[in-house]
Chain A
């Protein structure tokens, strides 16, 4: 106990750091401002600035003869979105996103439910990592894996041949719309790969929602005479719904904006992402590309607004 001082107020420490430290204490706003300036400059100016500039361009149009951008305010570019060939692209993408979201929820639910209710200790970790690793592993590698699987000479054909089920595959491929000459150039293929790549994003929110459901609620429902289907329909599903909606935000948004999966596995018919890519690249029509990118933003805005009203953000 040797450090006795008689003064009650110590002198300021010398140097810049002492002075700065005192300043930060006296005026916390300055520290806050210093902390926020770099990220705000980066995200607010560079990123948001670019984004707004892009969206503004959707109100310009392209001159059909010179191919140059006509910098006059117009809604004609948006009108182009409504011509059948472009509107088909939007419809196709939205239908695909809805299908992918529904299928992801169906596949994800049992995994999430098992992890939340039955997995303990070691198994809990295995389930967690079992979801996290595919979720984080390389996007392109995942697509590549499916290219291997769906190829005509690939594992799926081999497997079905072993089971003498090739006729089933052929029958499916002969169907209109979902079929094609091979799985890797059909909507079915695109659909499977979309599910594979985005479904992991659905599992964790559902699991989080289910973990908040007390186990005795399920027992209470059974006790009151509910059979498993009724328990699911009236107890489990409503309680898991915010988690499903939270997860669907990911699956829906990611499917809406993707342009690589349909390019590599799928038919030649375009999705929104591909249309944006094509318009800004080869066609050089930035205004139309910008208008196309407004579509997923608007759809997601509406979707998020509805999800917020359902309380989905608490499950994130």
Chain B
């Protein structure tokens, strides 16, 4: 079943097309990432799902039911906010029980459910504290418990790990993924961190300028970027100019080629080209070689075991033809 469906959805703010004719179908139980730079429309899409924004045009469905014109408080969808938005005047337990309270659940029952939700995010017994007394990571867990206690059918996460430091972020990535598996709730999360999207999501939508540039599994998006923008934003792929791709015999297109697909020297069935070494960097497990091939800048990742050519030397490089991926103009 489709959890969230966007049909030609647009959201304009005056002349700014924050979201422009987006089509999107998120499956039930999916861990779905919306990836893009700031201002690309991903957060507006999330806010359209939550009901904080109304579409200028188009149609939105949540589990087959029309969502336009339905206020946030009538959607069985909950959000974990980027700044957590914990209520400063309420205790942690009251924060978590808030959604149940406004729905009229009896006090004993809602407090019990809130305690359970706090235990689920590994914060048992923190209920009497105030939001100001918790660390950033703990507040993040409270925000998660406060949303999940309502048993939403879709959980929206707006840059949920953005404010955490690296170590905590990696730990929370694993926990979120495990939580999503055990609860079976559809997670939709917004991030500008491609590593986070690649490692956590089942599928990724890459946004730019209010439009979806590519929608696919992490592997598809990483290995076969559909546009130059995706190649640039998602990976460290080489984006090759049409003139150079033409000399390689692939027609006059932009193309992406991952640095690790390139090897020093030629070989059977491999496409070859020559270039002058402009830089060689030692990266520990590998060496990164940058060459100038007919004016195109190409990076290659070489195993550390191979001797690195000197700067200024002309070298032959090659790759398997299927590793080169041609893209549309944009």
Contact = CB atoms under 8 A, between A and B. Distances in A.
A and B touch in the complex (CB under 8 A): yes
A22 B71 contact: yes
A315 to B, nearest CB: 29
B240 interface: no
A146 to B, nearest CB: 46
A7 B154 CA distance: 11
B70 interface: yes
Give the residue among A5, A7, A9, A22 with the most B Cβ atoms within 10 A.
A9
A3 B110 CA distance: 9
B74 A3 contact: no
B306 to A, nearest CB: 56
Contacts of A21: 71, 73
A10 B75 contact: yes
B149 A1 contact: yes
Contacts of B149: 1, 3
Residues of A contacting B: mostly:
loop
Given A1-B116, A2-B109, A26-B69, A12 B74 contact: yes
A5 B62 contact: no
Contacts of A4: 151
Interface in B94-123: 100, 103, 105, 109, 113, 116-117
A85 interface: no
Given A22-B71, A26-B69, A26-B71, A5 B76 contact: yes
Interface in A1-48: 1-5, 7-12, 21-22, 25-26
Contacts of B66: 9
Contact of A5 (B65, B67, B109, B151): B151
18 contacts: A1-B117, A3-B103, A3-B149, A3-B150, A5-B151, A7-B63, A8-B62, A8-B63, A9-B62, A9-B66, A9-B67, A10-B76, A11-B74, A21-B71, A21-B73, A22-B71, A25-B71, A26-B54
**Cβ-closest 10 pairs across A and B:** A8-B63, A25-B71, A8-B62, A9-B65, A10-B74, A4-B151, A8-B76, A8-B153, A8-B65, A9-B70
Interface of B: 54, 62-67, 69-77, 100, 103, 105, 109, 113, 116-117, 149-151, 153-154
Given A9-B62, A26-B54, 12 more contacts: A3-B100, A3-B105, A4-B151, A5-B151, A7-B65, A8-B64, A8-B75, A9-B66, A10-B74, A10-B75, A10-B76, A25-B71
